Amino acid sequence: MIRDRGSIKWVSMMLPEHVQQIRAWKHESEEELPNGLTEWELEELQQTIQFAYDQKLIVTLKTLVEHNLSHYTGIITDLRASARELSLETDTVIRRIPLDTIYKAQLESNYCD
């Protein structure tokens, strides 16, 4: 431990991998939570999801459930407006995602035939 002006320098005792993980964790935790979507944003979100479903494009969905942010990337295989959910086929599993939890949808540049 190095004492410098009364504060203890713990970073010098940590492995570089741990420092990188801590910085990544701080960056993730600083990601701003969405307050609520405006009517324009909801319309854009709906259009992006519908276009990705129609064209079978790879899309990244960002969801917010009880202050937990999640990112899912895959192809929308089923869109059920009556149940207010969609099915997203990722590399390993098919996930059912409620539409109310999605706050951002972004098309990926890769196409799937």
> Could you tell me if 23 and 51 lie in one domain?
no
pTM of the prediction? 0.65
Where does residue 28 rank: exposed (0-12), middle (13-18), buried (19+ CB within 10 A)? exposed
> Could you tell me if 65 and 26 lie in one domain?
no
The total number of structural domains that make up the chain: 2
> Could you tell me if 44 and 84 lie in one domain?
yes
The secondary structure of the chain as a DSSP string is -EEETTEEE-GGGS-HHHHHHHHHHHHHHTSPPP----HHHHHHHHHHHHHHHHHTEEEEEEEEETTEEEEEEEEEEEEETTTTEEEEE-SS-EEEEEGGGEEEEEEEEEE--
Q: What is the pLDDT along the chain (113 residues), one digit of tens a residue?
A: 555 566 556 656 677 788 888 888 777 666 666 667 788 988 999 999 999 999 999 999 999 888 788 899 999 999 988 889 999 999 899 999 999 899 899 998 755 55
pLDDT score at 107: 93
> Could you tell me if 101 and 80 lie in one domain?
yes
> Could you tell me if 25 and 50 lie in one domain?
no
Tell me: the pLDDT tens digits for 37-65? 788 988 999 999 999 999 999 999 999 88
Which structural domain, as residue segments, surrounds residue 84? Answer: 39-111
